[in-house]
Amino acid sequence: MNVENLVIIGSGCAGLTAAIYAARADLAPLIIEGQQPGGQLIQTTNIENFPGFPDGVNGFDLVSNMRTQTEKFGARFRSGVVESIDLKKKIIDCEGDRIESRAIIIATGAVPRRLNIPGEEKFWGGKGVSTCATCDGAFYRNKVVAVIGGGDSACEEAHFLTRFCLKVYLIHRRNQLRASKIMADRVLSNPRIEVLWNTILLEICGKEKVTHLYLKTQDNEYDLSFDGVFLAIGHMPNTKVFENQVECDSEGYILANGITTGIPGVFVAGDCCDRHYRQAITAAGMGAAAAIAAERYLS
Ligand code: NAP
């Protein structure tokens, strides 16, 4: 079996930055792209806080440029997801292939969290429930939609949806937004967004498509008409395949000391291990650090 120098699992901001550094250090890393090549940034519109882009940068463009940069230095990509892995022996099974490597960087990112309420599954994908305004917002031109959540993602999605929608309701379970001040102010000053405070979504209702939401406040339960609902309630790390091999917290985030796991030659970067910052730039920084650590380990 051909033994790789370095396999990077995941092709989001963390994985691609690790790949740029590792490729430039002549390691010819192999990147296993995962379920969503390019990661979550693919679904982001304008990133306003990535250094070096005073006018913002489109998530898709940023990721595409990162990928071009990795390939310029000799990184290689393989589509597919890791089905099983032995981290100690560094043997990876990926859709019919067995890959052995000297070092591994885990950069598998996270996926949007679901509410697990009635109607969510039934109307998923094109029938009125989405986790991506960038992907699906244009389908709701002149419609009324809800965004669930009170963080930066919810505010960003709500603000973005006002490009298309007649009205956007931000439905939040508390009476205070978790979002950063700049994002919160943007939402609260947008006349097309109304915030429903202290409100919980109990059920997503309709026949073929979503027609209304069943909502609950402290002293009331009621129906409100909607054409769609966007869930923006945080994320879950993509770490199931590593369970029992590395230490994880109760939500599945890999517990690491920075980018170092307890296993020699196995490093982590980005949203799969960072429950606090979860920014493109912090993921990129961790990716760079993981690649430098992997290079030192290999030499
Ligand atoms: P988040 O900050 O964890 O916020 C999740 C929101 O969803 C919270 O308001 C939470 O309510 C709510 N929520 C969670 N579970 C819920 C449930 N079961 N039912 C109802 N509501 C629920 O996640 P995020 O907004 O995705 O942001 C993640 C990270 O990415 C953050 O660090 C954020 O700053 C960053 N981010 C940055 C930008 C930007 O700067 N442009 C854009 C997007 C995201 P509670 O408040 O009550 O907990």
Task: List the single range of 49-53, 133-137, 249-253, 263-267 with lowest mean pLDDT.
Answer: 133-137
| 136 is known as an active-site residue | yes
Domain pair 3-111+235-298 / 114-231, same fold:
yes
Q: Which of 61, 86, 97, 135 is catalytic?
A: 135
Q: 133 or 202: which carries more pLDDT confidence? A: 202
Strand partners, 76: 30
Task: Tell me which H or E stretch contains 91.
Answer: strand 91-94
Residue 44 pLDDT exceeds 90: no
Helix, strand, coil % in the chain, rounded to nearest 5: 25, 30, 45
Helices 152-161 and 181-188: angle between axes, nearest 10 degrees: 40
**β-strand 30-32 against 76-78: which pairing, if any?**
parallel
How close are the terminal C-alpha atoms of the chain, in Å?
21
One-letter amino acid identity for 188?
L
What residue ranges line ligand 1, CB within 6 angstroms? 49, 115, 148-154, 156, 173-174, 178, 232-235, 278
Indicate the pLDDT class of residue 132, thresholds 50, 70 and 90: confident
Distance CA(20)–CA(67), nearest Å, equals 8
Q: Residue 136 has what pLDDT?
A: 86
User: Is the torsion defined by CA of 119, 122, 128, 134 positive or negative?
Assistant: positive
Q: Ligand 1 center to residue 222 CA distance, Å?
A: 25
Residue spans per domain, the chain = 3-111+235-298, 114-231
| 132 is known as an active-site residue | yes
Q: Ligand 1 center to residue 181 CA distance, Å?
A: 13
Q: For the segment 174-233, what is each residue's pLDDT rounded down to a tens digit?
A: 999 999 999 999 999 999 999 999 999 999 999 999 999 999 999 999 999 999 999 999
Q: Which CATH architecture has domain 114-231?
A: 3-Layer(bba) Sandwich (3.50)
Distance CA(84)–CA(40), nearest Å, equals 23
| 135 is known as an active-site residue | yes
- Whose structure tokens read 């102010």? 185
- Which of the listed residues 178, 195, 202, 276 should we mutate to test ligand 1's pocket, taking the one with most ligand atoms within 8 A of CB? 178
Indicate the pLDDT class of residue 47, thresholds 50, 70 and 90: confident
Q: For the segment 52-110, what is each residue's pLDDT rounded down to a tens digit?
A: 999 999 999 999 999 999 999 999 999 999 999 999 999 999 999 999 999 999 999 99
Atom in ligand 1 nearest the alpha carbon of residue 180: 34
Q: Ligand 1 center to residue 227 CA distance, Å?
A: 23
- Which of the listed residues 45, 57, 116, 153 should we mutate to test ligand 1's pocket, taking the one with most ligand atoms within 8 A of CB? 153
Distance CA(10)–CA(105), nearest Å, equals 9
Burial of 299 (0-12, 13-18, 19+ CB in 10 A): exposed
Q: Ligand 1 center to residue 12 CA distance, Å?
A: 19
One-letter amino acid identity for 109?
G
Question: Which among 173, 5, 179 is positioned nearest to 76, based on CA atoms?
Answer: 5
One-letter amino acid identity for 76?
R
Q: Would you identify the CATH topology of the domain 3-111+235-298?
A: FAD/NAD(P)-binding domain (3.50.50)
Q: Ligand 1 center to residue 235 CA distance, Å?
A: 8
